[in-house]
Each structure stands twice: as C-alpha cells, then as structure tokens.
Amino acid sequence: MTRTAFFISDGTGITAESLGRSLLAQFENVDIRMVTKPYVDSVDKARQLAEVIEATAVRDGATPIIIDTIVDEQIRDVIRDAAGFKIDIFSTFLKPLEEELATHSSYSVGRTHAIGSDDVYMDRIHSVHFALDNDDGARTHQYDKADVILIGVSRCGKTPTSLYLALQFGIRAANYPLTEDDLDEDGILKLPKALAPHRHKLFGLTIDPRRLAAIRHERRPNSRYSSMDQCLQEISQAEGLYRQLHIPFIDTTRFSVEEISTRMIAERGLMRRFSPR
C-alpha cells in the first residue's frame, strides 16, 4: 500500500519538506509518495488542498500524512479538518518555546528562508561566485583565498560539493582535477605545482571505479575516458597520491553531497560563515 505525505506551508515549504523527508526516511519498508505544497497562503487555497487530500485518502485507501508549517490560524484550521494524520510543526514546538522563553513568537511567514542579514546574503553570493570562478582548476592564482581545495579525478563529485559548501555554509571552495598531465615519467601521479603551496587546504575525493565508469559512460559512451581500465587506473593513482602525501579524502560513492560536505567540514575544521538554509 502506498501512503501519501503532504508537506504544506504558507511559505516556501522548504522547512516542512526537509523535516518531513528526514522523518519519513526512517521508514524504509513503507512506500511513501511525497508531495510538497508551498504558498498555501489563503483559506481558498487551503480548501482546495483539503479536497485534494480527501481525494488522495480515497484513492490510496489510507490516511495521508500531513506535515505543515502553516502560521495563519484560519488556514491551519482548514488543513486540520482534512482527513489526514497531522504533524503541525509550529504548534508542536513554538508553544513550548514560548513558555520557556516567556515571550510570544512573531508567527511570521518565511523567516527561516528570508534573505535576512545583508552580510550573510552577500557572503553566500560571493562564495558561490568563488566556487564557479575556481571550478575545474580554472583560476589557480586565487587559491590563497580558498578555504578548501577539492581534488580528484574527473566526475567524482568535486563541482557539486564545491557549490553546496558555498551555498549552504559560505565556504569558499575551489576544485582541481587530477589528470594524466600530472603523471611523472614513471606513470605515478604527482601533486600539481599549482597545489603545492596549498597542501594544508587540500581535500581528496574518490569513488568506486564501477560507479565512475557508469557516470562517464553517460557523458562519453564507449570511450577510453569511460572504460573500466581507465577508471581503475585513475582512482588507484589518485588514492595513492592521497596516502603518500597524507591528504584526507572521502569515498563519494554512497554519500550524498550533504554528507560529503558535512564530513569534510568536520574533518578539516572548516569555519562556516553561516548556518545552512
């Protein structure tokens, strides 16, 4: 039986969806269809959604799960009357906090994901621009301004991790690809000259060769670049370099970009310029 979960908000829905997905991820044996409904910011929209929820209950033959961060009491009352198992995040947590802090919540829509401080917003923008400008070894002369420099073979996850670090934490992340141009005369991978002065900032990424071959095959099918032999060789050389120079590294095969980033922050002791959104 499929259960449907609705993540409902009168704002972006990011908070409801993030918490909802985290909770529901613990139930691996249940088939859950997840539906996000942002900007339910009027009673009319709430009533329309309530009808959808009722129809979903009939279709599924099971009660939908409703996880919401609705601030407006009238809108919340409409959703509360819909046929569903409800987790009202704000009423569950804000009321006890109001009692503990001896003050009332502002009950404002969208405060979590608003721009907020101009300094924080500009830090985010500058960090993303830095990641884009320093992607794939583009501007090695800016490495003195980097908080971390990701290294690894092509298609092992350097770019998405760099952008995630920038967007979520304001970390200035550059990345540099390890290629055959970095092999010495004996076929051993050596540290590129551009990276040598910044060894203390390096963090390596690696990946299962079979996974790497599959990713590369989507980009360049039936090529030397995507062959298993080539992927095995490159990964072996990269990991050998990491171990030789004591460069910390992580296998990205089974980790999400969120996990890769937070593990890297913890291991490198990187300073977050702001908390994730």
Query: Residues annotated as binding site for ADP?
Result: 152-159
Neighbours of 185 (CB within 10 A): 5
- Quote the CA–CA distance of 41 and 25 in Å, as a whole number: 28
Which strand (E) or helix (H) includes residue 239?
helix 228-245
* Residue 276 and residue 169 in contact, taking contact as beta carbons nearer than 8 Å: yes
60 to 28, 33, 52, 65: CA distances (angstroms): 19, 10, 12, 12
* Residue 65 and residue 5 in contact, taking contact as beta carbons nearer than 8 Å: yes
Which segments are annotated as binding site?
Answer: 152-159
Residues 6+ apart with CB under 8 A from 15: 9, 69, 89, 112, 113
Closest CA to 273 of 128, 137, 143, 56: 128
Closest CA to 157 of 136, 133, 141, 142: 136
Cα angle 109, 112, 115; round to 5: 95
Q: What is the dihedral of CA 248, 252, 256, 259, to 10 degrees?
A: -20
